[in-house]
Amino acid sequence: MTIHIGAKPGEIAETVLLPGDPYRAKWAAETFLDDPKLVNEVRGMLGYTGTYKGKPVTIHGSGMGMPSLSIYVNELIRDYGAKTLIRIGSCGGMQDKVKVRDVILAMTASTISTPSRGIFKELNFAPSADWSLLKAAADAAEAKGVVPHVGGIYSADVFYDERPDLNEQMVRHGILGVEMEAAELYNLALRHGVRALAVLTVSDHLLTHEALPSEDREKSFGDMVEIALEAAFA
């Protein structure tokens, strides 16, 4: 048990999927895991542990933004022994070729600032995904008939962005999508020697302003969760 996670020793699996929304964690656990058990609800951040094809898996909310994710990922790694952490979440598309409902596999995560900034100081550290997970996720997607976009994303530290000039540079440099957590997940995984990946569903688009209707989100997010689960155990 930690300050923010009430699970008992042994109740968190070595493989953890991390949606930002705790209720998405509940939906994913009840939809894709066998015998899911609620193992955390401290501060309303739900976490469930069950099995996927006989393998233990925890699906735990991370909250919105890198500071929130940093709290949970630090505790999951240091106190509960998590070895594979995969963010499953939504993002905004930033390229014409990226469509709403598409899946992005984040190879790298650019950012202005993360909670790790104080450690790196003047260094512009380039956080990246674990190669074995990235390749396994690409293979799992293709096996499902999904053609994923693989490349760089942008992890923003604000939701209501007022920097159109910065967005223009992201688009110009091939950034596929924007979200708010992956860069710090990658920093922490690399620091602690564990595996991490972000598998993202495009829920809206910064260029076309198209957005996925809320009633369609669960069906579209299903591919993302299955790809993450298959990649974790490839």
Write out the binding residues: 4, 20, 24, 43, 87-90, 179-181, 203-204
Active-site residue numbers? 204
- Binding-site annotation: residue ranges for phosphate: 20, 24, 43, 87-90
Amino acid identity for residue 8 in this structure: K
| Among 228, 199, 216, 226, CA closest to 104 | 199
93, β-bridge pairs: 177, 205
Give the Cα separation of 204 and 187 in Å (integer): 26
Segment holding 183, helix H or strand E: helix 182-192
Residue 139 burial by Cβ neighbours in a 10 Å radius (0-12, 13-18, 19+):
middle
Residue 47's φ and ψ, nearest 5 degrees, are -135, 135
